[in-house]
Amino acid sequence: MRILICDDHKIVREGLKQILLQINGIEIDEAQNGEEALKSIKESSFDVVLMDISLPDKNGLKVLSIIKERFPDMNVLMLSMLPQEQYARRALKLGASGYLTKDTASEELISAILKISKGGKYISQSLAENLADSLGGNDKESLHESLSDREFDVMLKIAKGFPLMDIGNDLCISIKTVSTYRSRILEKMKMTKNADITMYCIKNELI
């Protein structure tokens, strides 16, 4: 089995490697950002990609969407320090094979990797219950769940204080288009200014 670990912190990658080396016959490659991960996937074959959500160059969800677009059969397990209810649904909608938080026990991580490597899906018991409640109408959808993937990207960058021009340059779109996305975000989330977006993202632990 061959696995690619994508995380910008070397100490985290080393910790994950020590856990995963318990799997017989495993081979592990590393990437410290989204671009490195995409390059590795293009050049080599992997059974599972273990992807952090918080990456320095691209949001992990953006990298996930690119991977699924270019390599639709790739198995990707998302890993994050953030609460699973904040990002898990969006990750699964984008095609992730699973979602775990970084405080997950090593035994559960290994079980998830083994299941996903065989084409299965893996989510925690608490997330499964959360999703079941949602389908049953018992869970109120968060405001950011109504945003498209691009709107979600723009929202996070606005929340982090990036100027509209910088957001446009980073996403390769015009500042006018960024302004349009900003207007849609404010409308959908019933807000009036950037500070509202920032406070929402902080409160919901999105940044």
Q: What is the pLDDT of residues 76-89, one digit of tens each?
A: 999 887 765 667 88
The answer on pLDDT for 101 being more than 90 is: no
Q: What percent of the chain has pLDDT over 90?
A: 59
pLDDT at 134 over 60: no
Give the pLDDT confidence score for residue 111 in this predicted structure. 92
Residues 33-65 pLDDT 10s: 999 999 999 999 999 999 998 888 778 888 999
Q: Which of 78-87, 103-112, 145-154 has the lowest mean pLDDT?
A: 78-87
What pLDDT score does 137 carry? Answer: 52
Three-state SS string across the chain, please? Answer: CEEEEECCCHHHHHHHHHHHCCCCCCEEEEECCHHHHHHHHHHCCCCEEEEECCCCCCCHHHHHHHHHHHCCCCCEEEEECCCHHHHHHHHHHCCCCEEEECCCCHHHHHHHHHHHHCCCCEECHHHHHHHHHHHCCCCCCCHHHHCCHHHHHHHHHHHCCCCHHHHHHHHCCCHHHHHHHHHHHHHHCCCCCHHHHHHHHHHCCCC
pLDDT band, very low/low/confident/very high, at 97 (cuts 50, 70, 90): very high
Task: Quickly state the pLDDT bin for 71 (edges 50, 70, 90).
Answer: very high
Task: Provide the pLDDT for residue 104.
Answer: 81
pLDDT at 141: 65
Q: Is it the case that residue 99 has pLDDT exceeding 70?
A: yes
The predicted pLDDT at position 132 comes to 64
